[in-house]
Structure 1
C-alpha cells in the first residue's frame, strides 16, 4: 500500500504512522495462520449450549482474552471485536510482538432466525486511533444473498477498503454466502461462494477471506476445482475460514485450498470451538486448541513452500 488517500471525514484521515504491510500477517513461510475470535452473539450461543443460566458479556470477554493469550504465540495474527475484547487486547498487551492484531470493522445484527442476519460497516470505529494503538488490519463481513441488490454490497466494500487505506490499515473482506431472501427463489449456498468472489474479489481489499467450497465435505477433486476457480476470481491473496467445516476435516480443507492458490486460514471454530463447555477451558485451550493451531500452521507452511 503506497498511495493512501487524503482525509475526507472523521475516521478516514491520513495515517499518522507507516501504512501496514501484509507481511505483518504472515508466517515466515509466507503463509497465513490466523485465529478468529471476533464472534459475538454466535459465541454467546455456543456458551448457552452448555449452561442453563444467562451467558454474560464478561464470560464471553474472558474467553476471548484467555484464548488470545494461549493461542496468540502460535498464530501469525488474531482477529477480535470491539464489542467484547479489542480495547482489552490493546490495553493489556494480550498479544506478543510477533502476532498481529486484526479488528472487526463490522456491526452485526440478527434477522429472523439468523444470529447474524445483517452486516454493515461500524462507522463509530476511529480507524486512525486504532492504527496508532497497534491494530494492523480491519475485517468486514459481507453477507452475499443472490437476490439482494449488488450495488449496496459493492458500495459497502469500496467504502470499507478506502477507509482502511486512508488510515494506513490493511483491509480484509469476508464474503459469506446466504440463502436468497425469497423462499420462491431457492439458491444453493455453495454456488454463492464463487458468485461472491466474482462480484467482490477484485474490489481492492488486501486480503480475501473465503468459505471452504462445499464446506470441505465434497470430493477432493471438486474442492480443488472450486478453490482454483476462487484463485482466478480473487485479485489479492486469499485464505479460508472454518465455519461450516467439521473440525476433523478442516486441516485437509486447508491443504486442498492451498494446493490451488490459497495462502492459509483465518479461522476460529475449527481451532477452539470444542473447548467451550469443557470443565477446564484454559487447559483445553492449551492442550487441544493450541495443538490444532500448530498443526494447521504446519499444513500451511508445507503447502505454501511446496507451491
Structure 2
C-alpha cells in the first residue's frame, strides 16, 4: 500500500483479524450461463434469485461481507432476511452492458441504485466494476471512478473499486502476458484515486511459479493506494486457496470472491445441501487462510 492510503474504517466488512473474507453473489448473465450448462430449458430470473437467496443464507454466517446486485438479488435477499447478523452488505452500483461477444462489454454507474437507499437498508459499502482496455481513452474510466468514490463518500459508505483487465476494443489478439500487464496498468491508473478498498485480479491467474505470483502481488501492494483484496475470476478452482495465501503474505488483506466458493453448487439437485457440503467448508478454509496471513501485522 502506498503512502496515499486512506485511513477509512473498514471494520464493517472485515473479520476480527482485520482481514476480509467477503462473498460475491452479484453475478448476472454469467450466472445464467453457468446454470444453462446444467439444464436444457431456459434459466429463469426467479431461478437465479432463488439461488442467490439460498447462497446468501448458507454462506453469510461465515463471510465478513456479501456483495449483491440490484437486478436479481438486493431486494429479494433483504425481503427474505437471508443475510446473517454481523455480515456487512455491499451493493453493486455497476450497470453491466453486454454485446454479442462479451457478457460485460461496457460498465456505467447504475442510476437505479441509490446510495442513500443502500444506507437506509443497512448497507455499508458500494462496489464498482471498471473495465481497463489498452486501446481506450483512460479519461472516462478515471472520471467514473472519481464520481463513484465521491458518491460513496457522500453517503457515508465504503467504496470498493474492481478494475479488470480486458482485451482491446478492436478485437486484436490478446495474450495472457498482455492480460497480466493490464492488471498492473489498471492498478497504476486507478489504484490511487481514493477508493477505500481495491479488488484486484490475481497476477498470472495464480498459476505457475510461486515466486512470480508473489512478485506480482508485491507489486500491487506497492502500487495501490489502499488496502486490497483478490477476486477469484480466472484462477483455477484448486489454486485459489494458494492464491489467497500468497497474495496476503505479500500485502493483500483478503478476498472478495464468488465462483471460487460456490461454483460446484450450480446445477446441484439440492442447492442448500450442496452449499452445506461444498461451499461452507470452502469459505471457512479461505477465511482461516486470511486470518493466518494477516496475523501480526
Question: Scaled by the length of structure 2, what TM-score is found?
Answer: 0.94
Matched, 1:276 2:245: no
Deviation of the 1:21 alpha carbon = 3.8
Deviation of the 1:186 alpha carbon = 4.8
Deviation of the 1:80 alpha carbon = 0.7
Q: Return the alpha-carbon distance in structure 1 between the equivalents of residues 173 and 241 of structure 2.
A: 34
Q: Deviations over 1:187-242 (max 9, x none)?
A: 61111000000000010001000001111112110010010000011111000000
Instruction: Give the corresponding residue for 1:205.
Output: 195
Instruction: Give the corresponding residue for 2:182.
Output: 192
Instruction: Give the corresponding residue for 1:226.
Output: 216
Instruction: Give the corresponding residue for 2:279.
Output: 289
Q: Return the alpha-carbon distance in structure 2 between the equivalents of residues 184 and 266 of structure 1.
A: 30
Instruction: Give the corresponding residue for 1:8.
Output: none
Instruction: Give the corresponding residue for 1:236.
Output: 226
1:56 to 44, 52, 60: 44
Structure 2: give runs of 5+ residues left out of the alignment. Answer: 1-7
Alpha-carbon contact 1:74-1:294 (below 8 Å) kept: yes
Deviation of the 1:294 alpha carbon = 0.2
Deviation of the 1:306 alpha carbon = 4.8
CA shift in 2, pair 1:128/1:118, >3 Å? same
Instruction: Give the corresponding residue for 1:77.
Output: 65
Deviation of the 1:185 alpha carbon = 7.1
Matched, 1:118 2:106: yes
Q: Return the alpha-carbon distance in structure 1 between the equivalents of residues 171 and 91 of structure 2.
A: 35
Alpha-carbon contact 1:90-1:134 (below 8 Å) kept: no
Deviation of the 1:278 alpha carbon = 1.6
1:86 to 70, 74, 90: 74
SS of corresponding position for 1:108: strand
Q: Return the alpha-carbon distance in structure 1 between the equivalents of residues 296 and 211 of structure 2.
A: 19
SS of corresponding position for 1:230: helix
Moved more, 227-236 or 183-192: 183-192
SS of corresponding position for 2:139: helix
Deviation of the 1:277 alpha carbon = 1.1
Moved more, 166-175 or 91-100: 91-100
Alpha-carbon contact 1:101-1:136 (below 8 Å) kept: yes
Instruction: Give the corresponding residue for 1:143.
Output: 131
Q: Return the alpha-carbon distance in structure 1 between the equivalents of residues 197 and 256 of structure 2.
A: 10
SS of corresponding position for 2:108: strand
Instruction: Give the corresponding residue for 1:107.
Output: 95
Q: Return the alpha-carbon distance in structure 2 between the equivalents of residues 129 and 21 of structure 1.
A: 21
Moved more, 45-54 or 280-289: 280-289
Q: Return the alpha-carbon distance in structure 1 between the equivalents of residues 97 and 231 of structure 2.
A: 20
Coordinate RMSD, CA, aligned: 1.3
Instruction: Give the corresponding residue for 2:83.
Output: 95
Q: Return the alpha-carbon distance in structure 1 between the equivalents of residues 148 and 111 of structure 2.
A: 10
